[in-house]
Amino acid sequence: MKAVVILSAGHGKRMKSPIPKVLHKVAGKSMLKWVLDAIDILKADQVIVVTSPELKNHAILKNVDVVVQEIPLGTGDALKIACEKLKKDIQKVFLLCADTPLLDPVDLKNLEFSKADLTIMGMEIDDLNKTYGRIECNVKGTPISIIETKHNEQAKAISVANAGAYQFSAEMLKTLLPELSVNAESGEVYATDLVEFAFAKKYTTELVLAKEENFLGVNTLSELAQAEKIMQTRIKNNHMLNGVYFILPETTYVNYDAEIGAGTLIEQSVHIGENVYIEGGAKILGFSYISDCTIEKGANVGPFAHLRGNVVVEEKASIGNFVEIKGANIGKNAKIKHLSYIGDATIGENTNIGAGAITCNYNGFEKFKTHIGKNVMVGVNSTLIAPISIGNGAYIAAGSVISEDVGADNLAISRTQQQEKNAWASAFREKHNKKLS
């Protein structure tokens, strides 16, 4: 049987953020959730998260065993209190950190394949000045200790660094954990000391290597931005391999849960937020912001469009520049091309919404619905005051304020009668020019 222990009790003071460190998001998913999802590949019989008091009741931990580390006294202390909660038949224990959102499940499988009593994940680093602890190996390549570089310049010559992921035999942990002591300088207990203890006690040790970026530890907002950049590259590369065409992908944000069909074109500086489904053949034009929406095949969105809050854009519909849509269903071949707001509405197929038309859906206390049928022509700068229904084939005259239902195939006009006063403008200018002279 296998158990996974995830260390998540650090306060993350270097983040200088009111949000607990492990709840900061990368591509729309919290760092802790990235790690929890990655360990699914291990099919663990028990998952233990060591966390701080402020997170012990958080919903993200509802399906795991929670151990509270009241005072963060280091990784060794956290592992000790976690192991007190191990199920009796556990044979293997994996130790991971919650602030490594780029964790690759393949690395965890490589860690699992090892038969050693203690297996440590290492990474070849490209900059020897980095402060990672180094993995010291004997001539056979067997790990014998982890050396911190803080007061040891010679250790920096070692290019294999500690990634912070381990596999232990449960029997070994029961023997060696009581031997961990408090570091005199820091006042903490370090799990890294287990490597030296294990080798000295003739337990078998092994080194498994992974890419450095997979174990990037996020301790600052700068490192969070670095992790985001790497994750965005991964996400968009996967979409491109599946037939999605990004123009300048480095300028576009894609949430982790976005589903995008092959043949979709996404232009520069697009933001694809949470809960987005885009069918193949759609076009998302530059500088558009979309979240919580479905865009069907052949539909066009943008440029400079904003879709949010449960929006459906049906097949071949067209949403143009500076159009905002919230909580609405846009029918097939419908067109909303310029400068409009459509909120809490249904728009029938082949309907055209003229430039500057809006639905007034909120009275300051409640939201109301607007229903527009098929083949409707809504003239420019029209205002539709919900709740209202516009029948199939109706016409709304430009500049109208419509507050009552409109029947099918009818023309609705609601605007004051035009008046014209002869020579008024000339007299007005003459009057004011005399005042200024």
Instruction: For residues 142 and 282, state if they share a domain.
Output: no
Instruction: For residues 70 and 119, state if they share a domain.
Output: yes
Query: At 173, which amino acid appears?
Result: L
Query: At 120, which amino acid appears?
Result: I
End-to-end alpha carbon distance in the chain: 96
CATH code, domain with 73: 3.90.550.10
Instruction: For residues 110 and 236, state if they share a domain.
Output: no
Instruction: For residues 225 and 211, state if they share a domain.
Output: no
How far apart CA 56 and CA 98 sit, in angstroms, is: 14
Task: Flag whether 422 is in a domain.
Answer: no
pLDDT tens for residues 147-159? 988 778 888 889 8
Query: At 97, which amino acid appears?
Result: C
Q: Which residues contact 156 (CB under 8 A, 6 or more apart)?
A: 128, 129, 134, 149
From 187, 215, 243, give the residue that closes a domain: 215
Domain count of the fold of the chain: 2
Task: Flag whether 418 is in a domain.
Answer: no
Instruction: For residues 232 and 107, state if they share a domain.
Output: no
Angle at 248 between CA 243 and CA 250, to 5 degrees: 100
Q: Is 270 exposed, middle or buried (0-12, 13-18, 19+ CB in 10 A)?
A: buried
Nearest to 375 by CA among 321, 315, 333: 333
Nearest to 79 by CA among 196, 170, 199: 170
Task: Flag whether 43 is in a domain.
Answer: yes
Could you tell me if 113 and 2 are in contact, meaning their C-beta atoms sit under 8 angstroms apart? no
Instruction: For residues 239 and 311, state if they share a domain.
Output: yes
Instruction: For residues 237 and 198, state if they share a domain.
Output: no
Catalytic pick from 58, 271, 338, 371? 338
How far apart CA 348 and CA 383 sit, in angstroms, is: 18
User: How big is the chain, counted in residues?
Assistant: 437
Structure tokens at 220: 């600052």
Question: 3-class DSSP state for residue 154?
Answer: helix
How far apart CA 366 and CA 219 sit, in angstroms, is: 43
How far apart CA 303 and CA 185 sit, in angstroms, is: 58
How far apart CA 132 and CA 154 sit, in angstroms, is: 13
Task: Flag whether 432 is in a domain.
Answer: no
Task: Flag whether 430 is in a domain.
Answer: no
Could you tell me if 204 and 116 are in contact, meaning their C-beta atoms sit under 8 angstroms apart? yes
How far apart CA 238 and CA 221 sit, in angstroms, is: 26
271 is catalytic: no
Whole-model pTM? 0.91
275 phi, psi to nearest 5 deg: 60, 55
**What's the pLDDT at 240?**
98
Q: Which residues contact 183 (CB under 8 A, 6 or more apart)?
A: 74, 189, 190
Range of the domain at 252: 221-412
How far apart CA 96 and CA 163 sit, in angstroms, is: 9
Query: At 214, which amino acid appears?
Result: N
349 phi, psi to nearest 5 deg: -65, 150
Distances in whole angstroms, Cα of residue 215 to Cα of each of 59, 382, 429: 25, 55, 73
Distances in whole angstroms, Cα of residue 337 to Cα of each of 124, 333, 355: 53, 12, 7
pLDDT tens for residues 200-237? 999 999 999 999 999 999 999 999 999 999 999 999 99
Instruction: For residues 134 and 234, state if they share a domain.
Output: no
Could you tell me if 330 and 319 are in contact, meaning their C-beta atoms sit under 8 angstroms apart? yes
Structure tokens at 105: 């499940």
Nearest to 310 by CA among 345, 286, 283, 341: 345
Task: Flag whether 436 is in a domain.
Answer: no
**What's the pLDDT at 81?**
94
Could you tell me if 164 and 121 are in contact, meaning their C-beta atoms sit under 8 angstroms apart? yes
Q: Which residues contact 298 (CB under 8 A, 6 or more apart)?
A: 281, 282, 315, 316
Instruction: For residues 278 and 164, state if they share a domain.
Output: no
pLDDT tens for residues 117-131? 999 999 999 888 888
From 179, 199, 215, give the residue that closes a domain: 215
**What's the pLDDT at 156?**
85
- List the chain residues with pLDDT less than 50: none
Dihedral sign for Cα atoms in the order 293, 294, 297, 299: negative
